[in-house]
Chain A
Amino acid sequence: MAHASHIFSYKTLGLALGALLVLTGVTVGASYIDLGWINVWIALVIASTKAGLVLVVFMHIKSAGKGVVVSFLSTVCFLAIMIGFIFWDVAFR
């Protein structure tokens, strides 16, 4: 038998859902406070936190092994570089 050695209880899942809903509220609330260009980054940080919760709790990424965790983060890194490197162009025209 080769799957998750640890199954998340309903309680853990429920707590994660609760946290996600709270964070959703936070991000909506934050959008009402005008901090200029920082708003986008706040929104992205909150979204990334929510994503992290989904990944760790709902998707149980740790049970898939270190290889998956590393390659997932690398994929996200690759996406970040894709977007970031384009700004060498678009930010300097």
Chain B
Amino acid sequence: MAEKPDQTGKKLGMWLFLYTEIILFGGLFVLYAVYFSWYTPDFILGAKQLDLGFGLANTVILLVSSFLVAASITAVQKNQRPFALTALAGALVCGAVFLVNKYVEWGHKIEIGIFPGSEKLLDGPAPQNLFFGLYYVVTGLHGIHIVIGMVLLGVSFVLVLCRKITAQDDAVLDNCGLYWHLVDLIWIFIFPLFYLVV
């Protein structure tokens, strides 16, 4: 196969893939928009029961992690390999902390009987069931994407370590970074819609 004439296609391909992720989550935001407009008071009551501390912490964590990923790309461009590795490692740690937070948050809710199909939700007001149903589906799907993103960052870390990603050839890191930023972008919208509608 002849040499690909234009390497910028790799970046285009990644952006196209990101569009599909936006639409994927978009479907869930469609449901949210409708139910929020119909049941605003119940959604407000639901949001009050979420732990703002966790939500805020996770928001900050993801913003910092995005910064670190972007910094790692700048570092690779400046041939500052050790710093690039540190930044990527930092982003991975952020991702892990995010998941731990999510685990604790979900754990709290499950303990007090708020989970899909639970009696408390079945017996309570119907729209609150919708709020928490959407909460679990949206944050669950988002969590899966955090895991995927972490895998991609891990792969990038190894490739930077083995000098397979360099200033001349950083498309893989670039693209993995784009994916991670998208996961952050989605959370930027999840946070206010679930935690701040009070």
Contacts and interface: CB of A to CB of B under 8 A. Distances in A.
Interface stretch (B97-105, B110-118, B148-156, B168-176): B168-176
Decide if the interface of chain A is mainly helix, strand, loop or mixed: helix
Given A86-B33, A90-B37, A91-B37, A46 B63 contact: no
Contacts of A38: none
A75 to B, nearest CB: 4
A17 B191 CA distance: 17
A78 B71 contact: no
Given A86-B30, A86-B33, A47 B192 contact: yes
B29 A79 contact: yes
Contacts of B184: 54, 58
Nearest to B193: A43
Nearest to B198: A31
Interface string B8-19: 100110011001
A83 B30 contact: yes
Q: How large is the interface on A (under 10, 10 to 19, 20 to 34, 35 or more residues)?
A: 35 or more
Contacts of A31: 192, 196-198
Nearest to A84: B33
Given A13-B70, A39-B197, 20 more contacts: A3-B8, A13-B74, A21-B63, A24-B56, A24-B60, A30-B196, A43-B196, A47-B188, A47-B189, A50-B188, A55-B185, A58-B67, A58-B184, A65-B12, A78-B23, A79-B29, A83-B30, A83-B33, A86-B30, A90-B37
Q: How large is the interface on B (under 10, 10 to 19, 20 to 34, 35 or more residues)?
A: 35 or more
Contacts of B8: 2-3, 64-65
25 contacts: A3-B11, A7-B74, A13-B67, A13-B74, A16-B67, A17-B66, A17-B67, A21-B60, A24-B56, A24-B59, A28-B196, A31-B196, A31-B197, A37-B40, A43-B192, A43-B193, A44-B192, A58-B69, A58-B70, A59-B177, A68-B12, A71-B19, A79-B22, A83-B29, A86-B30
Interface string A73-89: 00110110011001100
A53 to B, nearest CB: 10
Contacts of A3: 7-8, 11, 170-171, 174
Contacts of A46: 192
B178 A90 contact: no
Contacts of A67: 12
A92 B108 CA distance: 38
Interface in A18-53: 20-21, 24, 27-28, 30-32, 37, 39-40, 43-44, 46-47, 50-51
